[in-house]
């Protein structure tokens, strides 16, 4: 029933994403019906027309996605020195390729838009994580907590010489370094960033996995996952050959850059050609963009796969044996060791800290709390909230160029609104990916905001909680009402939200 323009919902686009100050009316409202009538619920959060003040207590309810705060110091150092640099190199290369593709024209920009947004978002998120892990204070915090917990582990006589959980995790990081890049490039698919290749791999593997009992298959092909997987594989969403070729060329180039031109995987994947020619060859004659072709392969099973001469099917088959071997090695030598070690650490942590520390986020419902307050960056004090006036100032400084081009409604209506109205605000509440859209409440249980982002200092919260500069960002409840009443002629909705 209400949704603002994209230009004001995400003012600043990727430039301001994971940053603060922020200026976004990132909200939407819809009505729920039951038996063709709007639901009237006696249980709801009362809307606060004034919103939060500085130093107010704030609660955020929601379903935070995934945190990794059990990860040990050795694991975090491995992320800092190996996993994240690799990831950022891959994302930067792909972002450059997609940007260049989009610069060819409006249609190319539209085609690449979704992929570019996803890649740029990931690049900025992982950059923030790396910056956090490069902060000695963050690792010192982890080291102190880890030492305190490790000292509580009882040493039993029969355990003499037995590897403890922290040592086990440190050991497997060194072992994983020996094959992490081939595993990520091949099994995770980073070296073959094409929807066509993904479809081909699933088709090949399903022909081998489905004849097995469900429990014996690779996890993604078990009965519980099949319906959603088949739905994705048979989606009629268009695939664009030029875009697929661009992504595949970029990822094949990254494959060669990472492993070297004479690595057996690179030699096999490129088949005697450079990445550009190989990508062109693979995409030009691939038929998997046709949903009917995919369905025929899935229905035909192993016989259809064996008879197929589709180049993506042949490439997937050529890569599959080594890919499966790397996966098995990872699951046995790394994943299982870490699972058992972290299980023991979690038990020790609970025995020492009990319910004073929340477990890692798993998309389950929980409540986070914190204080509404600004912070300091590079000697500059940032206030706890921005205003409509500072949104116009930001757009003016950026010459109203995309993504700082305010919607016409806002430009024309500037004189109608109170420019000192608080727009976005921050608090120290512990949010993570998955909390977007979560209500922010005050101590009275009134809705004072809508969470939609974190600042870059908060990205390290995946691994360690800090409130020194880390903040979540929310739309101020007063800003919503001001915009609804004075810019969107939605007085009825504003009245309904504030009705007692």
Residue 465, in any domain of the structure: yes
Domain annotation covers residue 86:
no
Among candidate residues 286, 310, 330, the one where a domain is terminated: 330
Same domain for 296 and 203, yes or no, is: yes
Give the rounded percent of residues in the chain with a pLDDT score beyond 70.
98
Residue 350 covered by a domain:
no
> What is residue 464's three-state secondary structure?
coil
Helix extents (H) in 13-162 = 13-16, 73-78, 84-102, 106-133, 136-150
The pLDDT of residue 489: 97
pLDDT value, residue 42: 87
Same domain, 250 and 365: no
In a domain, 392, yes or no: yes
Q: What is the pTM for the complete model shown?
A: 0.93
123 and 252 share one domain: yes
Tell me: do 277 and 393 sit in the same domain: no
My answer on whether 57 and 196 are in the same domain is: no
> Are residues 269 and 402 located together in one domain of the fold?
no
- Chosen domain end from 311, 330, 349: 330
Going by C-alpha positions, the residue among 286, 252, 245, 250 that lies closest to residue 269 is 252
Does any domain span residue 479? yes
Under-70 pLDDT residues of the chain = 155-162
Task: Look up residue 154 and give its two tokens.
Answer: 């009882």
Paired strand residues for 60: 368, 440
Are 325 and 368 found together in one domain? no
User: What are the angstrom distances between the C-alpha of 422 and each of 35, 43, 341, 462?
Assistant: 39, 27, 47, 29
The reply to whether 132 and 263 lie within a common domain is: yes
Round to whole Å and give the CA distance between 184 and 133.
21
| CA–CA distances in Å: residue 249 to residues 190, 205, 275 | 12, 24, 5
346 occurs within a structural domain: no
State whether 63 and 125 are in the same domain.
no
Q: How far apart are CA 203 and CA 497, in angstroms?
A: 50
Distance of CA 172 to the CA centre of its chain: 26
Assess whether 306 and 248 both reside in one domain.
yes
261 and 192 housed in the same domain: yes
pLDDT of residue 263: 97
The DSSP element (H or E) to which 445 belongs, if any, is: none
Q: Report how many domains make up the chain.
A: 2
390 and 440, same domain (yes or no): yes
List C-alpha distances in Å: 284 to 277, 279, 281, 416: 10, 8, 5, 56
* 438 falls within a domain: yes
Q: How far is Cα 423 from Cα 22, in angstroms, rounded to an integer?
A: 8
CATH code, domain with 435:
2.40.10.10
**Residue 286 and residue 437: Cα distance in Å, rounded?**
40
pLDDT score at 154: 78
In a domain, 160, yes or no: no
Instruction: Residue 133: give the domain boundaries.
Output: 92-144+180-330
Q: Given this model, what pLDDT does residue 158 score?
A: 56
Strand partners, 242: none
């Amino acid at each position: 029933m209400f949704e603002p323009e994209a230009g004001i919902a995400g003012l600043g686009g990727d430039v301001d994403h994971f940053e603060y100050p922020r200026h976004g009316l990132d909200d939407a409202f819809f009505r729920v019906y039951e038996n063709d009538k709007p639901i009237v619920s006696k249980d709801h959060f009362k809307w606060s027309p004034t919103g939060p003040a500085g130093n107010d207590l704030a609660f955020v309810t929601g379903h935070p996605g995934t945190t990794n705060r059990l990860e040990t110091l050795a694991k975090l150092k491995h992320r800092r020195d190996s996993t994240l640099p690799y990831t950022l190199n891959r994302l930067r290369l792909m972002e450059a390729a997609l940007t260049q593709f989009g610069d060819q024209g409006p249609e190319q920009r539209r085609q690449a838009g979704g992929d570019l947004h996803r890649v740029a978002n990931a690049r900025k998120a992982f950059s923030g994580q790396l910056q956090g892990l490069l902060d000695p204070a963050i690792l010192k915090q982890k080291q102190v907590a880890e030492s305190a917990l490790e000292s509580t582990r009882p040493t039993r006589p029969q355990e003499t010489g037995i590897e403890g959980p922290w040592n086990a995790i440190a050991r497997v990081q060194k072992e994983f370094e020996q094959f992490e890049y081939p595993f990520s490039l091949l099994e995770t698919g980073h070296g073959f960033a094409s929807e066509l290749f993904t479809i081909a791999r699933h088709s090949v593997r399903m022909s081998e996995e489905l004849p097995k009992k469900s429990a014996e298959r690779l996890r993604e092909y078990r009965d519980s996952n099949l319906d959603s997987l088949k739905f994705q594989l048979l989606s009629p969403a268009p695939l664009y050959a030029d875009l697929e070729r661009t992504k595949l060329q970029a990822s094949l180039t990254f494959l060669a850059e990472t492993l070297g031109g004479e690595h057996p995987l690179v030699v096999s994947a490129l088949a005697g050609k450079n990445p550009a020619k190989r990508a062109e060859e693979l995409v030009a004659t691939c038929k998997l963009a046709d949903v009917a072709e995919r369905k025929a392969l899935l229905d035909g099973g192993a016989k259809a796969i064996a008879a197929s001469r589709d180049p993506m099917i042949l490439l997937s088959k050529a890569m599959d044996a080594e890919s499966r071997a790397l996966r098995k090695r990872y699951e046995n030598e790394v994943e299982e060791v870490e699972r058992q070690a972290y299980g023991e650490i979690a038990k020790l942590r609970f025995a020492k800290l009990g319910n004073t520390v929340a477990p890692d986020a798993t998309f389950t419902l929980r409540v986070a709390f914190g204080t509404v307050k600004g912070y300091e960056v590079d000697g500059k004090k940032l206030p706890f909230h921005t205003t409509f006036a500072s949104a116009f100032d930001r757009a003016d400084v950026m010459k109203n160029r995309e993504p700082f081009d305010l919607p016409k409604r806002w430009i024309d209506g500037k004189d109608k609104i109170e420019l000192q109205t608080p727009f976005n605000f921050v608090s120290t509440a512990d949010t993570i990916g998955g909390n977007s859209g979560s209500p922010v409440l005050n101590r009275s249980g009134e809705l004072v905001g809508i969470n939609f982002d974190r600042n870059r200092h908060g990205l390290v919260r995946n691994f360690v909680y800090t409130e020194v500069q880390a903040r979540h960002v929310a739309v101020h409840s007063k800003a919503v009402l001001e915009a609804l009443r004075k810019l969107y002629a939605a007085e009825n909705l504003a009245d309904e939200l504030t009705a007692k």
